[in-house]
Amino acid sequence: MNCSLGNVKRNLQKIKSIAQRAARLEADVVCFPELATTGYALNRSWRRLAETVPGPTSVALGRVASEHGFYLICGIDELEAKSDRIYDSSILIDPNGNLAGVYRKVQLWANEQRYFTPGNSFSVFRTRFGKIGLGICYDLEFPEPARIMALGGADIVFFSSAQPKPMQGMIDAYVRSRAGENTIFACHSNRIGREGHLVFFGQSQIVSPTCMPLARMRGEEGLVQAELDLSIIRKIRKTQLPYFRDRAPSLYSALGKK
């Protein structure tokens, strides 16, 4: 998705258009990029455009989800009214249009740290077909978030991103790694377009628990789709990649001390 910087109305119109195309493909879940409703390179304007959840934008997204009967994941600039803090968030809306979950980005990148407050947890959300986790952009570049969500039962982790060039090779490796090391499906929804010096490269993709790309975009705007058989996760963990069985967590305690 190519966003219009600072133009929430126009971005919602584009989200609606893409959602209509996804509905024709009979999608169960549609995932949009990081800060898809506002655009990314806003800096001080992040605060001006931030909205509470629920709020006008999340309600509008709820109408999109309920109209088409699918789960909708979307990056949003969230305002916490009681504290006046703002978060780089991803919301999960169910097929009835109800808010099913909010994830607040934990691993904030560079300039984001000046404006956003980091989240403090990696949650797993129940859906009608299985458990899913949500991550945002820089979260993907750390192994721990996806591992925590996989240990929490997530079968799929959706990463909404605004990844710019020249990160293509590294991000491709990270998406495959997060899928393979946790034997889960990893879905990466990345921006395209230019904002100032940032050129977002797209290449959204869906990767299997054995690191195989099931579907992948190039650098254009569009939809990437795959049908996922969640039952293979247990089979792979039992017969092919027993990473969870062979973990040695009693030796990993130093990770929390440094």
Catalytic site residues?
34, 105, 137
SS3 track for 186-197: EEEEECEEEECC
CA neighbor of 235 nearest in space, from 123, 155, 159: 155
The torsion angles phi and psi of 33, rounded to 5 degrees, stand at: -70, 180
- The C-alpha angle with vertex 156 and arms to 155 and 160, in degrees rounded to 5, equals 160
> 185-190 and 213-216 as β-strands: parallel, antiparallel, unpaired?
unpaired
- The C-alpha angle with vertex 105 and arms to 104 and 111, in degrees rounded to 5, equals 130
At 74 the three-state DSSP class reads strand
| Tokens matching residue 121 | 């947890």
> 29-31 and 71-80 as β-strands: parallel, antiparallel, unpaired?
parallel
d(CA 137, CA 31): 13
> 131-136 and 124-126 as β-strands: parallel, antiparallel, unpaired?
antiparallel
For tokens 């994830």, what's the residue?
103
Contact 33, 190 (CB under 8 A): yes
